[in-house]
Structures are given as C-alpha cells and as structure tokens.
Amino acid sequence: MKQNSFHLWVEAARTLCRPDAVHLCDGSRAEFDHIAAEMVRAGKLTPLTKRPRSFWCQSDPEDVARVEEDTYICSIDPDNAGPTNQWKNPEEMRALMHKLFSGCMQGRTMYIIPYCMGPVHSPYSQLGVEITDSPYVVLNMHLTTRMGPEVLARCEKEPFVRGLHSVGVPLQPGQPDTAWPCNPKQRHIVHFPETREIWSFGSGYGGNALLGKKCHALRIASAVARDEGWLAEHMLILGITNPAGKKKYIAAAFPSACGKTNLAMLQPSVPGWKIECVGDDIAWMHVGADGGLWAINPEAGYFGVAPGTSMQTNPNAMKTLDHDAIFTNTALTKDGDIWWDGLPPQPLKVSSCHPNSRFTVSAKQCPIYDPEAENPQGVPISAILFGGRRSTTMPLVMESFSWAHGVFYGASLSSETTAAAKGELGKLRHDPFAMLPFCGYHMGDYFGHWLWMGEKLVKPPKIYSVNWFRKDGQGKYLWPGFGENIRVLEWVFEPTNARKTAVGNVPLHFDPALTNIDRAQWLYEVEELERYFVLFGNKFPKELSAELEALKHRLMIH
C-alpha cells in the first residue's frame, strides 16, 4: 500500500542491515542532547568548555573529504550520467549495494531521520529520509536540515527521497568500536536518479554522509529539476541593501572551498551597505509567477570550511559559532576550545588542524540570517555570479552581454582544486557552474537546461563572472577579498561606468592589474575551452558553440 511505503522501506532496511536497535528521530533538543551525551561517553565527541553545547571530534585520517572517485550516478541509460560522472549499471550496482549493506549495522543502532529540504511549508521543498548507523550524522542533520513530528507525519504520506547510509563497519558481539568507524576500501556514494535513491557506504564525513546536502539537494534534485523545469545549484544566496535602503538578492556559484560561505556572510568594508545571508551552499531556483527567478535555500544550517575563518575575514561566521556547534578535524586546545589556521596563534594545541576541517551550525544563529530565508516563496534573484580560483586570466569582475553569454560564463568555469575533495591540490580543472561533482545528469543537457530557463524567464537575472584570486608575479593575491568584496557587489548592484571588452563589460574604477584582459591568455583560454567542450559531443548546445566563436572573433579583432 502506497500509504505505508515509509514503514515498508524502513522495515526492508532493517531486515537488510540487521542493526541491534532502531531509533526513529524526532528532531528534538532532548534527542540531540541524549545522542551527544552517548557519543561523549563512547569517546567519539569532546565537549568544549569554552562554547556551550558545542563539541569537537576527529575523523579517521582516511575519511576527511568528499570522494569523487567513489561517487556514482546509476541512471538506466549511461548517456543520462554523461561524460563528467561515473556511471555503473543500476542493476549491477544494486546487487553490489545489497551485498555491502547486508548485516552492515550489526552491533549498532539504526537511526531513521525524516527531514525536509527547504522551509517546511514551501511548495518548492522536498522531503527525504536518511537511514544511518552514524550518530554523528544524526547530530549534523539536526543542525543542517528541518526535522520534527510534522516532517515525519508528511513522510508517512508523501513521496520522499530515500537515503540509506552506513559507515560500513559491523561489530561482532563484544567487539569495541573505534572513535570514527569508516570503511574506505569499500566506499561507494551511489545515486539512482530515476528512483530518487541514495546508497552511501563506508564514509562518515560531510557530503559523503549527510545525504540531504550534496547527494539529495544537488545530485538527485538537479535531475528532478531538469524534469520539472527548475534549477538546483551549488550557490549561495545573499540579500544586499544599498545606502538608500534598496534591497536586491544575488546568487553565486563558486566551486568547493572557493568563497561561498564568506561571501554569503560578508561584513561590508564600505559604510552604508548591508548584507544578509539566505544560504551559503545550495540554491533551488524556480520561475515565479512574475516571470522572475525565485530562490530558496534547501538547507537549515552550515557545514563550513574552518581554516581562514576569523574575526578579520568572516566575523559573522565567528559569532555564529559561539555555541551549539560541532567542529570536525579542527585543532583542539588544552583549555577545551578549538583552533584553526587563520585564528590568533594558540600555544595550547593538543591536535593539528586539517585543511578541510569544518564547523556545523544552525543558520538561525547567524547574526545576519535573513528572515526572508524562511519565506516559502523564496527570494527574487536579480544577479548571478560565477567564480573560481584563478591566478591569471579572469578579471576581478565582468558582466555578460546576454543570458546565453552568461550561461557560457558558467559552462567555462575553471578553478584550482582545494582540500574539499580528496585528490591533488591547486590543480586547474574545468568545473562548469561549480557543479562538476554535483550534476546528477549529463552536463551537456544541463547546459541546454540553463538556456531553456532563460527562455522561460521574463526578467532573467544579469550574469557576472568574478575572481577574488588573481595573483601578481610573486604569487601574492592582488585583491584583499572578504569584506572588500562589497566593492564588487556594489558594482553588480549598479553596473555603471563600464568598458566593453571582448570578454564582457568591465568596471573602470578598479586597478587595471585586477581588471585588465590579457589577449594572449584569453586566446589560450579559448583554445582550452574548444578542447574541453568536445567532451559533451552532440549534447553541447549550439548556442554555446556560437558564444565561443563570437568570443574568439572579438579577441581577434580587438
């Protein structure tokens, strides 16, 4: 019976995973406190004396970031996963999953987490249920999603995304547990977009394990969004109010660890401007009744990069972290506080800090949390930014000539790799729309979907490219970034005094070292894009080929 699909599925998971106990989560504070206390007793979590109801923990050194090489999109047709995803035959993968999950929760408790991505009463929100054997995941989901009796009641009646997660370490009777159980050798982060299912095995960290975030709100949701005519994006959403009191909303896509959280919580260095934070990582965007683009943040909290966060760079994040926060892989100090690179020197460190160490905290604690983030209709987006870590070529900011040219900016995005994903650091790679690791379908179709959205929009937002990371000959950043980024947003708010260049409109008032367009570098960029776009075969939209040709032509004649 359809009405019972929730209970049938939970029962099937219990039979498969064979946990010692089952806990249906109610999302309450008492539940959080109880699970945290149990973890403290088990030596998995350290309470922080300096921050009320806050905890530190350390993961296994083999389980510290997203694992793209262990991530799969198992669509029926391999052509629906496309050249940028790893595809496996869904039936074969399902068989492997059943083998891995068989008895995998022995000796552990199976937690059932009903959650809602987006404001509970938004027509754009989606339900999900994550079944996990990780109490750490439960605590993190408490902080980053909406949970509770109302969400549970709806999951018993309405469709939801199914997520099954295990750290992949069953315990024999009497076998002691480790502080951070995980199974890196058999790690699989698997998505079945057609049946809206996620199976994640072997990792307990971040996007691999908190299934509401990247797996549901990006990979599964992007495939749903293509079918239903909207967008699920790796974007922050911020409100910006000018000194005259006029407010606009901006969405921005930067790859992992390239500045979304920092921009979303920006403390302006220019007096009179105000920034409010709607979201720091993911945006779901729909065409509204007015023909504009409206965005909700599906998340209810932040899983943010710790290193580099300080009172100088991001005071709003620091204030958010005063209490009720979880810190993973930061350093711990002798006096019961946390530390990371970028904070004032700390002689009392008892552990070291990983470059992808993170904090988890509810968005409600952010001093500049925008009340409109709870609006079920979302917020109206008037500009979209794309940006990456580029030491050369890309100017501080430029404005596209049209929607299609802006989509070309998105498709052309490249960035130097960071510690957010396992692999080599600082290597320039293509990361279209900052969605390379997160697009749940063929990236060529995704480009086409963006062009299609432009046609549906009566008032399409203007699209910009930004780059905070240009360097001088000595390898030093040319732009101070952080609070100073308001100067770029100021121009995006009102893009006057621009110069038209071959690549876009560029403001006149910045140091030319930040905004100049080097023709030789750009001709190389075009050549590189010509090579890259071949990957998408006949799914590469002809409108974007035309944009590339037009750019090449403009560069030749300039």
Instruction: Give the nearest distance from C-beta 408 to ligand SPV in angstroms.
Output: 23
- Contact in structure between 63 and 180 (CB atoms under 8 Å): yes
**Contact partner, 261, from ligand SPV, Mn ion, ligand GTP, none, Cβ < 5-8 Å per class:** ligand GTP
3-class DSSP state for residue 534? helix
Q: Which residues are catalytic?
A: 258
Shorter beta-carbon distance to ligand SPV: residue 233 or 543: 233
Binding mask 237-276 for Mn ion (x = CB under 5 A): -------------------x--------------------
Instruction: Give the nearest distance from C-beta 326 to ligand SPV in angstroms.
Output: 13
Shorter beta-carbon distance to ligand SPV: residue 188 or 213: 213
Residues that bind ligand GTP (CB under 6 A): 254, 256-262, 280-281, 304-305, 307-308, 313, 420, 468, 477, 481-482, 485
Which contacts qualify for 333-339: CB closer than 8 Å, 24 or more apart? 335/49, 335/50, 336/46, 336/47, 336/48, 336/49, 336/50, 337/48, 337/49, 337/50, 337/51, 338/48, 338/51, 338/56, 338/306
Q: Which distant-in-sequence residues (6+ apart) come within 8 Å of 97 by Cβ? A: 188, 190, 199, 201
Instruction: Give the nearest distance from C-beta 304 to ligand GTP in angstroms.
Output: 5
Q: What is d(CA 392, CA 405) in angstroms, rounded to the nearest whole number? A: 21
Shorter beta-carbon distance to ligand GTP: residue 339 or 482: 482
By CB under 5 A, tell whether 280 contacts Mn ion: no
- Contact in structure between 349 and 332 (CB atoms under 8 Å): yes
Instruction: Give the nearest distance from C-beta 516 to Mn ion in angstroms.
Output: 30
**Contact partner, 206, from Mn ion, ligand SPV, ligand GTP, none, Cβ < 5-8 Å per class:** ligand SPV
Shorter beta-carbon distance to ligand SPV: residue 163 or 395: 163
Alpha helices in 321-375 (DSSP H): none
**Contact partner, 292, from ligand SPV, ligand GTP, Mn ion, none, Cβ < 5-8 Å per class:** none
The angle at the Cα of 389, spanning 384 to 391, to the nearest 5 degrees, equals 125
| Pairing verdict, β 247-253 and 383-387 | parallel
3-class DSSP state for residue 421? strand
Shorter beta-carbon distance to ligand GTP: residue 136 or 160: 136
Taking each continuous run of H as one helix and of E as one strand, the counts in the chain are 15, 28
Amino acid in position 316: N
Retrieve residue 206's tokens: 């971040």
Shorter beta-carbon distance to Mn ion: residue 200 or 256: 256
Find the binder of Mn ion among 130, 133, 280, 281 (CB under 5 A).
281
Q: Where are the beta strands (DSSP E) in 25-120?
A: 46-47, 55-57, 71-73, 109-117
By CB under 5 A, tell whether 299 contacts Mn ion: no
Instruction: Give the nearest distance from C-beta 552 to ligand GTP in angstroms.
Output: 31
Residues that bind ligand SPV (CB under 6 A): 66, 206-207, 213-214, 256, 281, 303, 420
Instruction: Give the nearest distance from C-beta 165 to ligand SPV in angstroms.
Output: 14
3-class DSSP state for residue 298? coil
Of all residues in the shown chain, the one whose CB is closest to ligand SPV is 207
Residue numbers at the binding site for Mn ion (CB under 5 A)? 256, 281
